[in-house]
Amino acid sequence: MNSDTSWAAVDWGSTNVRAFLLADGPRVLAQTRASMGSKNTSQADYQDVLDQLFTELGEAPARILLAGMVGSRAGWQEVPYCPCPAGVSDLAAHAIAPPERPDVRIVPGLSCRRASGSGDVMRGEEVQCSGAMHLEPDAASVCLPGTHCKWVRLAAGRIAEFTTFCTGELFDAVRRHTLLGALIPHEQVLDTEPGAGFAQGLQRATAEPGLLSALFSVRADALLGGIRLDQAADYLSGILIGAELREVRDAGMLESVLLIADGSLAVRYAAALRQFGAAVQEVASADAFVAGAALIAAQVAWD
C-alpha cells in the first residue's frame, strides 16, 4: 500500500458501524460512527451506507477493509469462517470483495471447535485480537465484553480458540422479561462506577454452586432486604459477570488478561477481573481494531 494513499477500515456491528479514514502507520485521519448496523441495513443498502460514511469524512479512500457482521449470511457478502488456529495471514488470504467493488475486502470471521465438541464463531473481534497481539505481544488471553462477551486464547501469535458468553444479552433479558427482574425499575441504569451492589453480585456468583440458583437471589434478596432496590441492576450484573469469570478462571485463563473495551464495560470488567485476582492490561477497542486492520490490509491481495 502506498504511503501517500489514504485507506479505510470499517467495523460493522449488529447495531452500529464505525469507519476510520487512515494513513499508513496506521494514523487515524478521521472517523465517524452511525447507527446503521447489520440489523437495520438490507443487503442492497450496504454500498450506499458505505459511500455515505466516507462522504461524511470528506474523502473516498482508495482501499477499504470491512469487518464484522457485514460478512455474515445476512450481510453484504457472506464470507466463510476461517477455522482456528488462525492469524493475520489467514484472515488476509480469505478476505473477499463484494460484487462490483474491487476496492473493498471483507474480512472473514473465525470458527473453532472446543475439546468438548461444541462450536463457536466470531465476526469482527478477530481484527481487534490481531491488533491486541501486536500492541501487547505477551498477552495470553483476551477479553472482549459486549452483548456476547468473547474470551480468546492466544498462542504463537495466532488465535488458538475462543468461547462466547451471552452475559450482556442475558442481563437484558432477565431484567426486562422475567419475574426476577420485575422489581428492577425499567429506567434504572447501571452506574458508570460499579458500586456495592455489583460487589455483592460478584460475591454471590462465587459463593453459589451454580448460576441458576444465584440468579433467583436477585428477587429473593430484594424482597428480604439483602440488597437495596436501587442496587438490584448492579447486583444482577455482578452475578452474571462473576459466573462468567468463574468459568474462565476454571479454564486457566485469568492469570494475565488483555481487556479490549470502552466506557462503563471496561470499568466494570476491570473491577471484576481484579477482584478475581487477574493481572489486567487494557486497550481501547478502536486502537485494537485499527492496529489489527492495518496488519490485515498490508497482506491482502488487492489486485
> pLDDT digits over 168-194, tens only?
999 999 998 999 888 887 766 676 778
Tell which residue, 246, 266, 296, 270, has the closest CA to residue 66: 296
Cell of 43: 443487503
User: Which domains are present in the chain?
Assistant: 7-136+289-297 (3.30.420.300), 167-283 (3.30.420.310)
Each as own residue / partner, the long-range contacts of residues 219-223 (CB below 8 Å, 24 or more positions apart, any chain) are 219/179, 219/180, 219/182, 219/183, 222/183, 223/183
> pLDDT digits over 99-109, tens only?
889 999 999 99
185 vs 116: CA distance, rounded Å: 39
pLDDT band at 3 (very low <50, low <70, confident <90, very high): very low
Specify the amino acid at residue 274: R
The pLDDT score that the predictor gives to residue 208 is 82
297 vs 60: CA distance, rounded Å: 17
Whether the CB-CB separation of 242 and 205 falls below 8 Å is answered with yes
Whether the CB-CB separation of 259 and 273 falls below 8 Å is answered with yes
Whether the per-residue pLDDT at 2 is higher than 60: the answer is no
SS (H, E, C) 217-274: HHHHHHHHCCCCHHHHHHHHHHHHHHHHHHHHHHCCCCCEEEEECCHHHHHHHHHHHH
Q: What number is the average pLDDT over the span 199-227? A: 91
Cell of 260: 479490549
Cell of 255: 492469570
> pLDDT digits over 235-294, tens only?
999 999 999 999 999 999 998 899 999 999 999 999 999 999 999 999 999 999 999 999
Whether the CB-CB separation of 117 and 89 falls below 8 Å is answered with no
User: Which of 205-209, 225-229, 292-296 is least confident?
Assistant: 205-209
